[in-house]
Amino acid sequence: MNRAVVPADLDALVAAVGAALDGDGPPVAPVPLLPRPPGSGSTPADVPAGTALVLRTSGSTGTPREVLLGADALRASGAATHERLGGPGHWLLTLPPTHVAGVQVVARAHAAGRGLTVAPPGEPFTPGGFAALVARAPRGERRYVSLVPTQLHRLVAAADAGTDDGTAGLDALRALDAVLLGGAATPPALLRRARSAGARVVTTYGMTETCGGCVYDGVPLPEARVRLLPADDAAAAGAGVVELSGPFLAHGYLGEPDATAAAFRTDDDGTRWFRTSDLGRLDGPPDAPVLTVLGRADDVIVSGGVNVAPAAVEAVVGEVAGVGEACVVGVPHPEWGHEVVAVVTLAGAQRGDGATPGTAGAGDVASAPPDLVAAVRGRVADRLERAAAPRRVLVVPDLPRRGPGKVDRAAVARIAVGHGRTQPG
C-alpha cells in the first residue's frame, strides 16, 4: 500500500500530479479520501501500488466511489487525445481539478509539456473572464480547453445577446484549436450554434473509470474499443449497454473488490472491459463504428407501458425556442405509472457556470407558460412519440448539479414531485 497525498492548493496539485505521472511522487487525491469501514485494516490514505490518482466519482449511482487510476492509463489517455486533436498543445483549465475532466487537463498539460493557463480560483465562469483567460495563453502553440455544456451555453447566449463580453468570449472560443465538451449530454441546437460560429467543438464521452473521455464525436480514440451488451427492451431497438475497453481503464475502486469485479470484466482473450450504466447505439461499419449515447439505462421512464429515454426527450426539448437547458424525469402517477416531466431553464436567464453544483429552492420553481408547454409537447410528440411528450413543464433558474456539468436527476425529480400536478394533460 502507498499513502495518497491531498495537495493544499492548485499549485501543489499541479506539481503533485506531474510527479505522480513521472513516477517520482506518491499517489494524489484531489479531495480527502472517504473513511474506510471498521476492520478493513487500512487507513483512508492507503491505496494500492501502481496508483497515480484517486478520484471520487460524482455519485450518479447513489454512492460516490473512489477510482484508482494508474500513471500508464493517464499517459495513454493523454497521448490518444493529442493524437486525435492534431498534436500536443497548451491547455487552459476552467473546470474544478477535483473531478476527472479538470484533473485530466492538468495531466494532459504535463504530458504535452506546452504549459497550462489556469482560470483564477474561485471566480465564476463568465464570457469576459474566459476571453481574458484565452488572452493569457501563449500564441504560436496549439491551444485546447475542456468545457461543460452550461459553460458553452453561457458563451453562446452572451454572444447572441450582443454584449461586448459575449462577443469577446465567442471570439476567444473560435481562437482555440479544440474545445472538448463533456460531462453531460449537449443539446444538439447548442452544438450546431457553436460550430456554426466557428468553434472547433469536440464532444467527448467517458467517465472517471476510463480516465475521462475516450470516445470523441462518437468515434473511439486510438486503442479504445466500444461494444454493446443486450439490455432488455433496448436490444430490439438496436441499442444496448455500453462497454469500453482500452489502455486507459482504471485499476478499480478503492476498498470495493466486489464493485470492481462487477464493473470490470476480462474476456477469455485477456481483453479487459468496463461496463457503463449507459445505453447506446452503434452505427456505421463494424471497423469504424460511431457511438450514440442514449442515456443511462436506469433513467428510462416507463409511462403508460411505453419506455421513454430521457436523453432523447431532452435533446428535442432543447431545440424549442426559449428553452436553455432541460432535464426530463419520471414522477409516479396513479394512472400512467410514471408521468414525464421536463424541468427547464429559460434561454438567456442568468444561471450558475455549470462547473459547480447548483440548486433550485422550492420558491424558484414555476409552471411554464401555456405556449411553452404546448411547444414542448408538440415538438416531442412530432419528433418522437406522444407517450414521450412531457405532461408537465417546470421552469427553474438553474438545474441542480452534482459535479462539473452533471445534472442531479434525483434532485430534479424531487423538484418535479414537490411542485405537484398543476398542468393536466
Q: Residue 1: pLDDT band by 50, 70, 90 thresholds? A: low
Whether the per-residue pLDDT at 184 is higher than 90: the answer is: no
User: Average pLDDT for residues 363-391, to the nearest whole number?
Assistant: 91
Q: Residue 61: pLDDT band by 50, 70, 90 thresholds? A: low
Stated pTM of the model: 0.82
Q: Report which of 103, 98, 86, 209 is spatially closest to residue 146, judged by C-alpha positions.
A: 103
Residue 422 has a pLDDT of 44
The residue to which cell 485494516 is assigned: 41
Whether the per-residue pLDDT at 363 is higher than 70: the answer is: no
Q: Report which of 71, 57, 82 is spatially closest to residue 17, judged by C-alpha positions.
A: 71
Q: Residue 351: pLDDT band by 50, 70, 90 thresholds? A: low
Whether the per-residue pLDDT at 186 is higher than 90: the answer is: no
What is the rounded CA–CA span in Å between residue 117 and residue 10? 12
Residue 235 has a pLDDT of 45
Contact 60, 406 (CB under 8 A): yes
Residue 402 has a pLDDT of 79
Residue 43 has a pLDDT of 59
Percent of the chain with pLDDT over 70: 89
The residue to which cell 469536440 is assigned: 202
Whether the per-residue pLDDT at 64 is higher than 90: the answer is: no
Cell of 318: 432543447
Residue 45 has a pLDDT of 62
Q: Residue 297: pLDDT band by 50, 70, 90 thresholds? A: confident
187 vs 55 pLDDT, higher one: 55
User: Average pLDDT for residues 381-400, to the nearest whole number?
Assistant: 92
Q: Where are the beta strands (DSSP E) in 353-414?
A: 366-367, 392-395, 401-403, 406-407
Task: Tell me the pLDDT of the chain averaged across its residues.
Answer: 88
Q: Residue 41: pLDDT band by 50, 70, 90 thresholds? A: low
Whether the per-residue pLDDT at 423 is higher than 60: the answer is: no
Residue 424 has a pLDDT of 42
Residue 352 has a pLDDT of 56
Residue 233 has a pLDDT of 55
Whether the per-residue pLDDT at 44 is higher than 90: the answer is: no
What is the rounded CA–CA span in Å between residue 255 and residue 261? 12
Whether the per-residue pLDDT at 270 is higher than 80: the answer is: yes
